[in-house]
Structure 1
């Protein structure tokens, strides 16, 4: 593509504060994601594009590097810079796919999806909750159905849910959302300015990284648990605009942040005035006999909690929420009203019926989830003993370290053998974790056995490939 043509498409990308390369990367990212720069498009070299934009070459180099780490572009010496992936790749050849590709383009082949960790069918508790909700809906009078902050009954149910967990909560502190992903998007829109710093764990939930990148955030990484958070606050001349972590059954490692570490983190964030988001979507998924520490919000009222029924019950409900200090909750409600006047009323009423029974439901399912975890772990130990995993006490996924090569190139081989895994690089904003993959254990034992059989065949095939240790240049894959 001609540099002047791309400069024209970029338009006024430099408006706003923050490092220019982040603003340029954000604009390029949007052009790629919206299809204005299709896969395979050749992008201008660094110097000509910098000249057309009247910026330093370093700005273009840094922006390209940011997009390369995200897997949106490919840079190879001698062949230039291109938007990742062929125009219409086959499933076996796909690279640089969006994080939610499997949702946008459902597969109809025989690929076992170990990348998407979510319940695959609504449990009976959902059906009975809808039956009660529809009865209540039929008796409703003078109900417009518009509730940008959420239906009052559901807001009370979520507030009571936190109060039972030792965090007294008023319904006015609750904003109901269409799932946890919308909750993160609203929080990013409310708190993150282009170029602002967001502290994240490395690795972490890829949907959060996508959301923060969409708002042109500078992602600064810390180890799991935001280890080193206090030191960053002391040494940084510029206060982070936001901090995000998954404190319980961490996605992807399964780690649980200890009680004392939770309190120190929450207190430090409150003292520095940094909004701290605790993603609790997986908090109720402990195995039998394992009890998780109280929410971070139990230590400091300023902590913002994000919850959802997608992982603990069923994603088709599309019910999530934000628990925040009252002023922040009011601000988020006003922000949501501009874009969305509220979610499905039947779903919200069903969720309100379901929430008082959430803990019991998760406990009922815990033994089966652990059995499937144990089955997958045993299969991996038997057939792929060189792969390394850390034990987990709950959650839905295993974080696997490959003995050689990288998750990006192995995923392509695994796809050709009929199984999809999630490469670790897409979960790590630092560019690390390339030697890891994430796989879930929610499938039936029979499916997990077949998946490991295919992974074993793929691994043997991968080991025979001379390029397997070199890694791939496009990294993103499909996951939630």
Structure 2
């Protein structure tokens, strides 16, 4: 591709704060994600683009390296730099981006094991909508704009945390349109191009995409967060993001001692620590969920949501933080969104006092489906390593050979979508892993495993590992 053409498309890529390489990477990232640079498209050589942009070659190299680590571009000796992916369409008309396919172009013949969320509203939710109707009908002199959330729901969420032993007032709560918006608001509030973010490797890919959208630089830590204190001192990150309970994708649970150490270290170092608790209440029968990180330090920022625990279509989440942080986030939200769906918030307020009962009722079914999926995998794919988990929604599977990205493409040709591990790992690892969820009914899970087994029977790894595309994942 002509470097002048790329330069024109980039526009004012250098406008902003942060290192030039991070700003350049952000400009190219947007062109790739918006489809301006299509899969397989060549990018200019380092020197040519540096000359066209009047920057040092090291700036372009660093930007390309960052995009390569994210899986957005491929760099190969002798064949140059290209946008990741292939311009060809396979015989089934699919792409190699299962999460985009699942959410944007759903196909009835594809079983999605990639996007994990309950697929039907429970009776308790419809009852909560019915219970809130009198209050909604009686509403007067209220235009319904609440950037921080409706007071009734803010009080209910605060009471929910007090019930878990974490002192909380309504002023500590910001209601959001799900956990993903919560992450987006926090990224806007805390990150500038080139800022460092500490994340687990692997972790929730929706968080990785949100941080990359702000042109942040990601540093990965293994699940269990070994080396957190050393990484904080070395990188001085702007924020740290963790999932200590039923970690997505591994399902691991951080011990109480490790939680205390993590929260106290972040507080002592002055690092905002984001505790993603979206999956925290999804334990199997008998599992005792440890306290949230906010129980050990009042500087922790907690994210919660009902979309994973109740229903994917219930787009109600929240942020729990110190009152000044909540005020700042509410001002940011007011610019982009004057407030969420008011009937959904009123229904959520009705539902929250009964959430524990709902989850206890559903836990045996989730455990049964988890066990069924593992049994089917052991029967049809005995060489796959699929460790059990104590809750959550997903299994983190290690393949005996090959790479997750190329096998995900093979699986999609057999009408099953899964997530490649490399798309969930900012460190560039997890190539041999895939993530699948166990929320489908047993008969659907059995069919999905049959299709995966057939895909595996015909799978032939490429000579070079495939690159997982950026994943819009849940």
For the superposition of Structure 1 and Structure 2, which TM-score range results when normalised by the shorter chain? Answer: over 0.9
Change in Cα spacing, 1:164 to 1:404, as seen in structure 2 (3 Å) is same
Residues 423, 468 of structure 2: 8 Å contact kept:
no
Of 77-86 and 306-315, more deviation after overlay is shown by 77-86
Aligned residue for 2:219, secondary structure, equals strand
Query: How big is each residue's C-alpha offset from its partner over 1:80-109, in whole Å with a ceiling of 9 and x where there is no partner?
Result: 33333455845856556385442122224x
Residue in 2 aligned with 1:473?
467
Q: CA deviation at 1:361?
A: 0.6
Residue in 2 aligned with 1:385?
382
Residue in 2 aligned with 1:198?
197
CA–CA separation in structure 1 for the residues paired with 2:56 and 2:19: 12
Change in Cα spacing, 1:477 to 1:413, as seen in structure 2 (3 Å) is farther
Residues 279, 308 of structure 2: 8 Å contact kept:
yes
Residue in 1 aligned with 2:291?
294
Q: For structure 1, list consecutive stretches of 5 or more residues without a partner in the other structure.
A: none
Of 357-366 and 65-74, more deviation after overlay is shown by 65-74
Are 2:319 and 1:322 equivalent residues in the alignment? yes
Residues 39, 83 of structure 2: 8 Å contact kept:
yes
Query: How big is each residue's C-alpha offset from its partner over 1:323-345, in whole Å with a ceiling of 9 and x where there is no partner?
Result: 00010000000110011100011
Residues 99, 207 of structure 1: 8 Å contact kept:
no
Q: CA deviation at 1:48?
A: 0.4
Residues 147, 339 of structure 2: 8 Å contact kept:
yes
CA–CA separation in structure 1 for the residues paired with 2:409 and 2:145: 45
Listed as ranges, the matches of 1:240-259 within 5 Å are 240-259=237-256
Listed as ranges, the matches of 1:30-429 within 5 Å are 30-86=30-86, 89=89, 92=92, 94=94, 97=97, 99-108=99-108, 110-234=109-233, 236=234, 239-429=236-426
Residues 133, 350 of structure 1: 8 Å contact kept:
yes
CA–CA separation in structure 2 for the residues paired with 1:90 and 1:144: 50
Residues 94, 412 of structure 2: 8 Å contact kept:
no
CA–CA separation in structure 2 for the residues paired with 1:105 and 1:33: 16
Of 271-280 and 34-43, more deviation after overlay is shown by 34-43
Residue in 1 aligned with 2:430?
433
Aligned residue for 2:400, secondary structure, equals coil
Aligned residue for 1:315, secondary structure, equals coil
Of 140-149 and 10-19, more deviation after overlay is shown by 10-19
Residues 72, 96 of structure 1: 8 Å contact kept:
no
CA–CA separation in structure 1 for the residues paired with 2:87 and 2:317: 35
Cα RMSD of the aligned pairs, angstroms, is 1.7
Aligned residue for 1:431, secondary structure, equals coil
Deviating 4+ runs (over 6 angstroms): none
Residues 95, 474 of structure 1: 8 Å contact kept:
no
Q: CA deviation at 1:151?
A: 0.2
Aligned residue for 2:313, secondary structure, equals helix
Q: CA deviation at 1:44?
A: 1.2
CA–CA separation in structure 1 for the residues paired with 2:66 and 2:446: 38
CA–CA separation in structure 2 for the residues paired with 1:343 and 1:3: 43
Q: For structure 2, list consecutive stretches of 5 or more residues without a partner in the other structure.
A: none
Residues 42, 81 of structure 1: 8 Å contact kept:
yes
Aligned residue for 2:338, secondary structure, equals coil
CA–CA separation in structure 1 for the residues paired with 2:7 and 2:66: 18
Change in Cα spacing, 1:258 to 1:215, as seen in structure 2 (3 Å) is same
TM-score w.r.t. the length of structure 1 is 0.95
CA–CA separation in structure 1 for the residues paired with 2:91 and 2:390: 34
CA–CA separation in structure 1 for the residues paired with 2:110 and 2:77: 34
Change in Cα spacing, 1:281 to 1:336, as seen in structure 2 (3 Å) is same
Q: CA deviation at 1:3?
A: 0.7
Q: CA deviation at 1:43?
A: 1.7
Residues 68, 473 of structure 1: 8 Å contact kept:
no
Query: How big is each residue's C-alpha offset from its partner over 1:218-273, in whole Å with a ceiling of 9 and x where there is no partner?
Result: 10111113221112233x2x521000000101100000100010011101101111
Q: CA deviation at 1:195?
A: 0.4
Q: CA deviation at 1:57?
A: 2.0
Aligned residue for 2:271, secondary structure, equals coil
Residues 99, 114 of structure 2: 8 Å contact kept:
no
Residues 387, 400 of structure 1: 8 Å contact kept:
yes
TM-score w.r.t. the length of structure 2 is 0.96
Change in Cα spacing, 1:86 to 1:94, as seen in structure 2 (3 Å) is farther
